[in-house]
Amino acid sequence: MFARIRALREDKDWTQKEIADLLKVNQTTYSRYESGDLDLPTSALIKLADLHQTSIDYLLNRTDRKEPYPPKKK
């Protein structure tokens, strides 16, 4: 998982600080998410999946399909 969130960030040439600001955490916390030293909270997983237009399962390395799931019907 941690390699995927880093790769997705680097593919877009974003810094850890930029992603940390979007998640409303400091850069050190985000760095610890990427290194695996700190578990990502569910709210951060959701935001990262939305940001990178992928599924949480992809971020968690449970699938190799990057496409997000279709949204829930209202």
Write out pLDDT tens, residues 20-74: 999 999 999 999 999 999 999 999 999 999 999 999 999 999 999 998 888 888 7
Asked whether residue 69 is domain-assigned, the answer is no
Q: CA nearest 4: which of 54, 74, 73?
A: 54
DSSP string for 7-48? HHHHHTT--HHHHHHHHTS-HHHHHHHHHTSSPPPHHHHHHH
Integer Cα distance of 48 and 19 in angstroms: 9
The total domain count for the chain is: 1
Asked whether residue 17 is domain-assigned, the answer is yes
Here the CATH number for the domain that contains residue 50 is 1.10.260.40
Asked whether residue 65 is domain-assigned, the answer is no
To the question of pTM greater than 0.85 for the whole model, the response is yes
Q: What is the pLDDT at residue 21? A: 98
Task: Grade residue 1 by pLDDT with cuts at 50, 70 and 90.
Answer: low
Integer Cα distance of 32 and 69 in angstroms: 27
Q: What is the pLDDT at residue 6? A: 96
